[in-house]
Amino acid sequence: MRVLHNRISNEELKRRLYEETEPRKTVSFYQYFPIADPQAFRDNLFIQFEALKVFGRIYIASEGINAQISVPDSRYEAFVQTLYAAAPELNGIRMNIAVEDDGKSFWVLRMKVRPKIVADGIDDPEFSMERRGKYLKASEVNEMLGKPDTLVIDMRNHYEFEVGHFDGAIEIPSDTFRDQLPMAADMFADQKDRTIVMYCTGGIRCEKASAYMLHKGFNNVYHIEGGIIEYTNKAKEQGLPVLFKGKNFVFDNRLGERITDDVIAECHQCGKPADTHTNCRNQACHLLFIQCDECAEKHHGCCSAACKDIADLPEEEQAVLRKGIDKGQMIFSKSKHHPLRKHRDEWKEEQHPELS
């Protein structure tokens, strides 16, 4: 019986990836459509994608598919045709090509069946994805964002918003998308007739959010087609001003792609302008945080002195210390109130009063 999942170590897979000489494309796509048998759909695609050397993360659910992948350039068209043939609803779907890409975003193919392709917390049986907000193309986005009556709502997490967002965008201050949905509806409950533009990284979250807002009685809801990625590509192709500022956070090995030269975030350790996300080198912590080059050198890529001391130990000793530790959401810490921010603010006030 054929094994339909990876059984090779990450270290070996990474080594093979970096030995590849052919360029790869990093692509994201999604589609909301009914899948009667998600497991069978997943297994069939896995066999075909594995043969094409597709790497990445793909989620399948009864409500559709959500994927971030990379594929060798020479096999890209074969991959597209394979996807189109998998279901009528996938024929001709939009492919979001990465804005900034070194082709090393993924090193293994992981395909999972999940209850939903986006965890939304919605349990209302009356909710439906059939009624969604209207798509906005790049030129329409620029026109709409310039109108004073438009509410621009960012449906991403705090650490994404922090390094880049549209001018005038409103952050929904919650740690998860499932919490953001009711919070967004509550925040603007008295403005249901205003024009609302929602956006996210590649479109999947804001498309569901637009349907949710309509479900909650909002009347004029739009969302950016293809999210930040498609908007940026089309704006640049068409010579339009790019109104998104800074970096677009992405959930792969790159941790971000630069959209404009603006650096709108700051180092979480010293407060200097910075927007490079990194994971703490102490694998027992692995916290995602923003670190400038100076602090990376000073702290050896760690988020604290305690983590630096651990990370500098021999690997055997680190493995003993890691045993039984659950890193949980520390990999992508979403909270504005993480203790590292307190240390950052104290350091900033003491060492760099001019930045306070």
Rounded-to-integer distance, Cα 79 and Cα 23, Å: 15
Rounded-to-integer distance, Cα 135 and Cα 203, Å: 10
User: What is the DSSP pairing of strand 96-97 with strand 24-32?
Assistant: antiparallel
Which residue has 């307190």 as its token pair? 342
Q: Dump the DSSP string for 194-250.
A: SEEEEE-SSSHHHHHHHHHHHHTT-SEEEEETTHHHHHHHHHHHTT----EEEEE--
Q: What are phi and psi of 340, to 5 degrees?
A: -60, -35
Rounded-to-integer distance, Cα 61 and Cα 132, Å: 19
Q: Dump the DSSP string for 117-144.
A: SS------TT--TTS-PEEE-HHHHHHH
Token couple for 124: 């209302």
Task: Name every residue whose Cβ is closer than 8 Å to that of residue 271 and which is 6 or more positions away in sequence.
Answer: 344, 345, 347, 348, 352, 355, 356
Q: What are phi and psi of 191, to 5 degrees?
A: -130, 40
Q: Are 156 and 180 in contact (CB under 8 A)?
A: no
285 catalytic per annotation: no
Which residue has 């090193």 as its token pair? 107
The amino acid that residue 293 corresponds to is D
Rounded-to-integer distance, Cα 297 and Cα 20, Å: 30
Rounded-to-integer distance, Cα 267 and Cα 289, Å: 8
Q: Which of 200, 280, 285, 295 is catalytic?
A: 200
Active site residues: 200
